[in-house]
Structure 1
Amino acid sequence: MSQNPPRRFGLLTAVCLVTGNIIGGGVFLLPATVAPYGTVSIVALVVLTVGAVALAMLFGRLAARTPVTGGLYVYPREAFGDFAGFVSVWSYWTMTWTSNAALAVASVGYLQVLFPVPGGAGWQAVLALAALWLPALTNFAGLKYVAAAQVVSTVLKFLPLAVVAILGPFFVHAGNFGPFDATGQGVVPSVSAAAAILLYSYLGVESAAVSAGEVRDPGRNVIRAGVLGTVASAVVYVLGTVAVFGLVPHATLAGSAAPFSDALNAMFGGTAGGVVMAAAAVVSIVGALNGWILMSAQMPYAAAVDGLFPRVFTRVRRDVPWAGALIGVVLASVLILFNYLGGTGQVFRVLVLITSFTAAVPYLLSAAAQLHWLARGDREKVRGGRLALDVTVAGVSFAVSVWLIAGAGYAAVYQGTLFLAAGLLVHAWLSARVSSSTASSPAAGRPPVQGRVDARG
């Protein structure tokens, strides 16, 4: 097998990967999730958009120097050593399968619009599991099917969203927006809390960097794909959220299971528009799961190749790390069943906040790595561009990551920290095996930071 197999993702596919991963279940359910905070949530979305663009630029700059799959693990490890790399990959991996569980849960309300499914937690769990395992089968079929499904689902989801985002503002009623700060806790705390939930809607800005080993001309296309995909998603998000807030009465929106369907029904009357939007939402969520299941396997693969993750994650078939994908889907399934059958209230909100915290950790470490190299004056580490721009992008990315961790709330930080604590046992076991191997072979040393340039095989 060739040591340098062809990279399969061109700029269009990379943009679709970013956009498809960003616009998944988040945009279709989050307006209802943040409605209890009031219209201050729109302010939080605008502020978060600036941070998301900065993160996309940061990951593009880092990927230009190290164009390998699994970048958010590689950058901290190169800057701070094995432990930082492990914390980043473990946290990101936890985020991916938790996010997949949340995406599958987000599909339930829209599936119930399309199919007359009996109520109850058991049937909702069945629907969520079906939405999760269908795109998993696409991943097991091979990378070319993942890429094709991502392009098709991205195109199909944009049309109905564009209808609400572009035409919706002409139908809004000012009285539907509700109070600006519905919690009464103050604008700053409400913005922070809403932003922690809304971060879920921007997860995926790093998609091109995580999959950089598959992208053609990554030095140019990763940052382009990240910024273009993020900006395109932001336009749909901001206009669409404003429209939904103005189309659906505040009290109704806060309890809605399918807010965009409700918005389309408010625009045109009847239920036909809502059914169309529900179908688009399901396609979007399944498409996002298609990309995120791949993401849940790629970064662990990179770490496993370097000996910092269990070796089972290195198993590849048809260009996809199938073992990692399978493990992630199984864990997401367990999490779905635990939250539904365990009687947990507000399933989507709970999963989203855990996801936001575990995503912010590798974002924070990547920004810190860039600041580390800039402080050292290591210009080859951050090649190209101007120093002032690099410092600004890295500084904003770092500040946004800290802000999101703080805004996630004590419960999410507590649960997310427990996930990280469980990872310490895995790291202790793996590092002990590496130390034992090194001791028995004095010539052996720390494995190189390699990620995955030639990951297929």
Structure 2
Amino acid sequence: MLEHGASPPAGDSDPRPPSSGGLATRLMRRKPVERLVAEGGQGEGGTLRRSMGMWQLTMISIGATLGTGIFVVLGEAVPDAGPAVILAFVIAGVTALFSALSYAELAGSIPVSGSSYSYAYATLGELVAWVCGWCLILEYGVSVAAVAVGWGQYLNELLNGVFGVTIPDALSQPPGDGGIFNLPALLVVLLAMVFLLGGAKESARANTIMVVVKIAALLLFCGVAVQGVRSGNYANFFPMGMAGVSAAGATLFFSYIGFDAASTAGEEAKDPQRDLPRAIMLSLVIVTALYCLVAAIAVGAMPWQRFEGSEAALAGIMKAVTGQSWWAVLLAFGAVVAIASVVLTVLYGQTRILFAMSRDGLVPKVFSKVHPKSGAPRANTVLVSLFCGVLAAAVPLGELADATSIGTLFAFALVNIAVIVLRRTRPDMPRSFRTPLSPLFPAIGFLLCVYMMGSLGTVTWMVFGVWMVVGLVFYFGYGLRRSRLATAEK
């Protein structure tokens, strides 16, 4: 792999079609891997700083993945699978693993900020890369807003438990749910913005602290709830058969979304070729192990039939085991920290993807301006934060939140294809990590993503379709003519 800033060796770069070709040729132009790597960190007026090691990168992926899902998801999954929900978590983790392997290979081979957008640009062409980047903007942007919306609810639980006060519904609930303006949602996004403006190193430090706190909260649950485990609760392990386990696995898969967040830090990692693949795989292993441990103890401590409709199953279990209600306050604190960590890491990923797209000329250059003192894209961070904060606080999201799933799965599918294409077009390119049994594993990853996309609702597909139309209008009206790859070819 080339060192940062090095020139590609003669004859070892991807062939670039001339810009004088037809529209189809222009849409399929690819950005050479060597050029992607050589441009790493370079922005308008400054460069991103390489300050993160494998530990910080792993914490970014865990921070984006380990959110409130585990605090509430058992109430949805256990009724489908019974005690076999433990196996469902494993199945969902293995499903995510196939795409994670592809991400690990490309993150080590093309260590840049654009994540799957940049991988698609190097392998599938500019139009596909734009579509992928546009999907990521949908995924990250709506995800930040949707996650931030729930922060006020957990904050109210914490405030009520500690101080006996709550924020009025008008200022703490999303519009459409009895609220007018969700002030806590805006505040948590602005808090994340403050950390991001300080630079990647400071943001990574804050995220690491939050990740440790929320892991500690889940381990605390395990330590307390294990006292209530009864072997009889595991007796009927497959009450709904394997069909129920599969249904629960599909629900739980979305608890794993976020493991790819480390790939957006490719230009701020100290040794990206070595550390990015390790961080992606390690974060998935840690999250899967933690999910399975919590699930195993939860279904052992409470009969699976009682999980139906329980959104606060973990708090209920701790109260039942100890007879004390203040354990719910501790879990509310863990959830508040968990949401803040997700907002921080996902907002970070959003800004870095826009940074890469801006550097390529596909979105306005303001998103690639880097502050020389902090090494952070400050204007980008402020614009994205304000947009996501207002979206969370003032716009009824409803089923729009499900659009994050389809955007993620679409990006995952393209990454699996990109691995196969790059293996064929650049078989001799150095790779610090290689996906086993390629092209079989990437093909399985692609098919699993397509299957998951097919399970999403009609409204989600309609939102996705409208978003794609808007994106294509923007690309043909702005990005196609301003693409820096086209400029370089003239």
Give the TM interval when normalised to the shorter protein: 0.7 to 0.9
Q: Is the 8 A contact 1:100 1:289 kept in 2?
A: yes
After superposition, residues 153-172 of structure 1 pair within 5 angstroms as 153-165=210-222, 168-172=225-229
Please state how far the C-alpha of 1:150 moved relative to its aligned partner: 1.2
Structure 2 counterpart of 1:150: 207
Work out which of the residue numbers 435, 444, 448 in structure 1 matches 2:487: 444
1:360 aligned to which of 406, 409, 416: 409
What corresponds to 1:421 in structure 2? 469
1:133 is the counterpart of 2:182? no
- Cα separation, partners in 2 of 1:31 and 1:61, compared to 1, 3 Å: same
Please point out which of 60, 64, 72 is paired with 1:17: 60
Contact 1:136–1:325 (Cα < 8 Å) also in 2: yes
Q: Structure 1 stretches of 5 or more lacking a match?
A: 448-457
Output the amino acid matched with 1:368: I
Match of 1:89 in 2: 133
Deviates more, 1:107-116 or 1:325-334: 325-334
Which residue number corresponds to residue 379 of structure 1?
427
Q: Is the 8 A contact 2:58 2:280 kept in 1?
A: yes
1:49 is matched with which residue: 93, 107, 110? 93
Deviations 1:330-362 (A, max 9, x none): 3333443456xx5x7xx5xx3552211111111
Query: Displacement, 1:252?
Result: 6.4
1:91–1:362 Cα contact (<8 Å) kept = yes
**Deviation (angstroms), 1:261:** 2.5
Residues 217 and 385 of structure 1: CA distance in aligned 2, closer, same or farther (over 3 Å): closer
**1:61 shift after superposition:** 0.8
The whole-number CA distance in structure 2 between the counterparts of 1:151 and 1:88 is 29
In the TM superposition, what whole-angstrom CA distance separates every residue of 1:85-121 from its partner, at most 9, and x where no partner exists? 1111110111112111222133333222211325636
Match for 2:90: what amino acid? V
Instruction: Please tell me the residue identity of whatever aligns with 1:420.
Output: M
Other structure's SS at 2:99 match: helix
Change (3 A) 1:179 1:207: same
Secondary structure, counterpart of 2:267 in structure 1: helix
Partner SS, residue 353 of structure 2: helix
User: How far apart are the structure 1 equivalents of 2:199 and 2:339?
Assistant: 20
Identify the residue that residue 211 of structure 1 maps to in structure 2.
265
Measured in 1, the distance between the counterparts of 2:256 and 2:54 equals 20
The counterpart of 2:454, out of the listed 406, 421, 425, is 406
Matched letter for residue 320 of structure 1: A
Is the counterpart of residue 261 in structure 1 residue 315 in structure 2?
Answer: yes
Q: How many residues align?
A: 430
Structure 1 window deviating more from structure 2 (256-265 vs 142-151): it is 256-265
Go from structure 1 to structure 2 and tell me whether the alpha carbon gap of 1:41 and 1:119 turns closer, same or farther (over 3 Å shift): farther
- Measure, in 2, the Cα distance between the counterparts of 1:74 and 1:241: 36
- 1:231 corresponds to: 285
Question: CA 1:263 to 1:425, structure 2 compared with 1: closer, same or farther past 3 Å?
Answer: farther
SS at match of 1:202: coil
State the match for 1:450 in structure 2. Answer: none
Q: Name the aligned partner's letter for residue 195 of structure 2.
A: T
Which residue identity does 1:354 align to in structure 2? A
Query: Residue type matched to 1:292 in 2?
Result: V
Which residue identity does 2:404 align to in structure 1? T
Moved more, 360-369 or 210-219: 210-219
3-state DSSP class of the match of 1:117?
A: coil
Q: Which amino acid aligns with 2:388?
A: A
Moved more, 377-386 or 405-414: 377-386
SS of residue paired to 2:166 = coil
* Letter of the 2:190 counterpart: W
CA shift, 1:137, in A, is 1.9
Give me the whole-angstrom Cα distance separating, in 2, the residues matched to 1:113 and 1:193: 31
State the shift of 1:305 in Å: 0.3
Shift of 1:231: 0.5
What secondary structure sits across from 1:239 in the alignment? Answer: helix
Question: 1:146, CA displacement in angstroms?
Answer: 0.3
Shift of 1:195: 4.5
Equivalent pair of 1:196/1:408 in contact (CA under 8 Å): no
8 Å CA contact retained: 2:105, 2:434: no
Match of 2:254 among 195, 200, 211: 200
Show the counterpart of 2:110: 66
Distance 1:132 1:237 in 2: 26
Q: Distance in 2 between matches of 1:43 and 1:119?
A: 41
CA contact (8 A) 2:75 2:307 kept: yes
1:51 and 1:400 in contact (8 A); partners too: yes
Maintained 8 Å contact 2:78/2:304: yes
Structure 1 pair 248–388 and aligned structure 2 pair: CA distance change class (3 A):
closer
Q: Pick the aligned partner of 2:155 from 99, 111, 127.
A: 111
Higher mean C-alpha displacement, 74-83 vs 50-59: 50-59
* Worse-superposed segment, 34-43 or 197-206: 34-43
TM-score, length basis structure 1 = 0.83
The match for 1:323 is 379
Question: C-alpha distance in 1, partners of 2:431/2:226?
Answer: 43
Q: How many Å apart are 1:192 and its aligned residue?
A: 6.3
- Seen in structure 2, the aligned counterparts of structure 1 residues 113 and 245 have a Cα distance that, compared at 3 Å, is farther
Q: How does 1:269-284 map to 2 (within 5 A)?
A: 269-284=323-338
Q: Structure 1: how far apart are the matches of 2:402 and 2:414?
A: 19
Partners of 2:251 and 2:386 in 1: CA distance:
24
Once the two structures are overlaid, the 10-residue window that deviates more, 157-166 or 202-211, is 157-166
For residue 169 of structure 2, what is the aligned residue in structure 1?
Answer: 120
Contact 1:20 1:287 in 2 (8 A): yes
Contact 2:98 2:441 in 1 (8 A): yes
Larger Rg: 2
In 2, the alpha carbon distance for the partners of 1:33 and 1:86 equals: 35
- Partner Cα distance (1:111, 1:101) in 2: 16
Conserved 8 A contact 1:193-1:407? no
Deviation at 1:322?
2.8
Q: Is the 8 A contact 2:115 2:263 kept in 1?
A: yes
Mapped contact 2:131–2:468 kept (Cα < 8 A): yes
Partner of 2:419: 370
Could you tell me the percent identity over the aligned residues?
Answer: 25
Contact 1:96 1:292 survives alignment (8 Å) = yes
Separation of aligned partners in 1, 2:437 and 2:223: 33
**Does the CA contact (< 8 Å) of 2:274 and 2:432 recur in 1?**
no
Are the equivalent residues in 2 in contact too, given 1:313–1:321 (CA < 8 A)?
A: yes
Tell me the alpha carbon deviations over residues 217-259 of structure 1, each in whole angstroms, 9 at most, x when there is no partner: 2121111111111101111112213434454666764544544
Distance 1:242 1:36 in 2: 14
- Aligned-pair distance for 1:324? 3.1
Residues 386/320 of structure 1: CA separation in 2 closer, same or farther (3 Å cut): closer
**Structure 1: distance between partners of 2:367 and 2:360:** 11
Question: Scaled by the length of structure 2, what TM-score is found?
Answer: 0.78
